[in-house]
């Protein structure tokens, strides 16, 4: 497909145009934010911004995996909130006990994702409606554990992961980098990771070519649950408590979809990357911070945020300018 006319570099740029747009957008907005912030770019400012942004980035990464297989996970926000509540109950005590709790929370998140995947693959239900229903179940479990906000978390681990490394680098960013290196990159290079892209492009063709369709989907949903659980853990480390909040869960689910789209991943599957979603999430979070430093009247903030979101997702409409045959519009 690259052909002889396109050099490797140009092909790479064309392939990653969505991600690059998100990166540039984020760089411009963050520069604007820092240059207008009264304190400038201090480690404290960066850490506060990173701690908030990493939560959405993790949930957006989680959303990316099912979307790549042409699915969707409307329960990521609920898994995020559920693991937050569970973590606030079991990640306590000594450092060792806390670490054990962390492992348990991650396992629960992965299990929740696996259940989604199992219903989609073996139950053959549509991902949208499946995750809508399982989301209600996960939210019920969260409410069961935390009928009212509260709980605690192992403070040594929490302080380590939400503070700064060597007094400069926000630890949350290191966690995010770790997740990318340990989960996303190996997944992207694995057989099942490539299979996920194939399934997203054309499931029938992938099946006919002997691609392990079912295992690819199962793994995508399971990893989505795992990543959402990492997000839930980080939320607990930030807030030192658990809260079964439906608005928080809903907001994270919806923003994760927006972040995925801004990061250049196609909702029709088979195209995109979790790296793009991370920067999509950073863009969304920086919008909020920008409103703060520019002192926009609070009443106008929701409208401004909404308009920016709508304009950002409408950027995808530029593809219709490249369409030569009207029938291509319908795919």
Partner 1 sequence: MTGVDTGATRGPSLAGRLGVDRSVAIAFGCILLILAAGALYSPAFLSPEYLLQQLQVGAFLGIIASGAMMVILLGHIDLSIPWVVTLGAMMATAMVGWGGAAGVWLCIPFGVLCGALVGTLNGFGVAYLRLPSMIFTLGMNAVVQGLMVLHTGGFAPQDQATRAMHFLAVQRSLFGIPNALFVWALVGLVVIYVLKRTAFGRAVYAVGNRESAAYLSGVSTNRVLIGCFAFSGAMAAFAGVLLAGYSNKAYQNMGDAYLLPAIAAVVLGGTNILGGRGNYLGTIAGVILITLLQSILSVMQMPEAGRQVIYGCVIILMLLIYGRGAKARS
Q: What are phi and psi of 151, to 5 degrees?
A: 90, -175
Residue 86 in contact with partner 1, rule: CB under 8 A:
no
Q: Which is nearer to partner 1, 107 or 303 (CB)?
A: 303
Q: What are phi and psi of 125, to 5 degrees?
A: -95, 160
Q: Which is nearer to partner 1, 135 or 231 (CB)?
A: 135
Residue from 5, 8, 38, 204 touching partner 1 (CB under 8 A): that is 204
Residue 87 Cβ vs partner 1, minimum distance, rounded to whole Å: 18
What is the biggest distance separating any 2 CA atoms in the chain, rounded to whole angstroms?
A: 64
Q: What are phi and psi of 153, to 5 degrees?
A: -150, 155
Distances (CA, A) of 327 to 266, 305, 321: 19, 34, 13
Residue from 128, 177, 182, 191 touching partner 1 (CB under 8 A): that is 128
The half-sphere exposure of 326 on its side-chain side, counting CA atoms within 13 A, is 0
Residue 308 Cβ vs partner 1, minimum distance, rounded to whole Å: 9
Residue 300 Cβ vs partner 1, minimum distance, rounded to whole Å: 7
Residue pair 79/138 in contact by the 8 Å Cβ criterion: yes
Which region among 14-22, 51-59, 140-148, 155-163 touches partner 1 (by CB under 8 A)? 140-148
Q: In whole angstroms, give the CA distance from residue 240 to residue 91.
A: 10
Provide the mask over 65-84, with x wherever binding to partner 1 is found by CB under 8 A and - wherever it is not: -------x------------
What per-residue string of b and e applies to 211-246 under the rule 16 or more CB within 10 Å gives b? Answer: bbbbebbbbbbbbbbbbbbbbbbbbbbbbebbbbbe
Residue 124 Cβ vs partner 1, minimum distance, rounded to whole Å: 4
Tell me how many residues contact partner 1 (CB under 8 A). 57
Q: In whole angstroms, give the CA distance from residue 295 to residue 63.
A: 32
Interface residues with partner 1 (CB under 8 A) are: 72, 119, 123-126, 128-130, 132-137, 139-144, 147, 203-204, 207, 213, 247, 250, 254, 257-258, 261, 267-268, 299-307, 309-310, 312-314, 316-317, 319-320, 326-327, 329-331
């Amino acid at each position: 497909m690259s052909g002889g006319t396109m050099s490797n570099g140009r092909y790479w740029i064309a392939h990653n145009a969505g991600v690059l747009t998100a990166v540039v957008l984020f760089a411009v907005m963050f520069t604007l934010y820092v240059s207008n912030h009264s304190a400038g770019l201090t480690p404290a400012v960066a850490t506060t911004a990173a701690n908030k942004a990493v939560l959405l980035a993790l949930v957006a990464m989680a959303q990316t995996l099912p979307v790549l297989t042409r699915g969707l996970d409307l329960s990521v926000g609920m898994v995020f909130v559920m693991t937050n509540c569970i973590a606030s109950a079991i990640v306590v005590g000594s450092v060792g006990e806390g670490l054990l709790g962390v492992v348990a929370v991650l396992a629960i998140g992965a299990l929740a994702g696996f259940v989604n995947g199992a219903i989609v693959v073996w139950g053959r239900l549509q991902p949208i409606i499946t995750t809508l229903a399982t989301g209600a179940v996960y939210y019920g479990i969260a409410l069961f554990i935390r009928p009212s906000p509260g709980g605690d978390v192992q403070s040594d681990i929490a302080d380590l992961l939400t503070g700064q490394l060597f007094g400069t680098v926000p630890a949350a960013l290191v966690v995010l980098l770790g997740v990318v290196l340990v989960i996303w990159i190996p997944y992207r290079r694995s057989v099942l990771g490539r299979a996920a892209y194939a399934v997203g492009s054309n499931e029938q063709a992938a099946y006919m070519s002997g691609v392990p369709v079912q295992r690819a989907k199962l793994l995508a949903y399971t990893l989505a649950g795992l990543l959402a659980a990492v997000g839930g853990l980080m939320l607990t480390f930030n807030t030192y408590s658990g809260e079964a909040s439906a608005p928080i869960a809903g907001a994270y689910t919806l923003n994760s979809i927006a972040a995925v789209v801004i990061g250049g991943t196609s909702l029709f599957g088979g195209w995109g990357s979790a790296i793009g979603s991370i920067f999509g999430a950073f863009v969304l979070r920086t919008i909020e911070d920008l409103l703060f430093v520019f002192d926009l009247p609070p009443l106008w903030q929701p409208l401004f945020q909404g308009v920016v979101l709508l304009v950002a997702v409408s950027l995808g409409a530029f593809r219709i300018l490249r369409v030569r045959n009207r029938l291509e519009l319908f795919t």
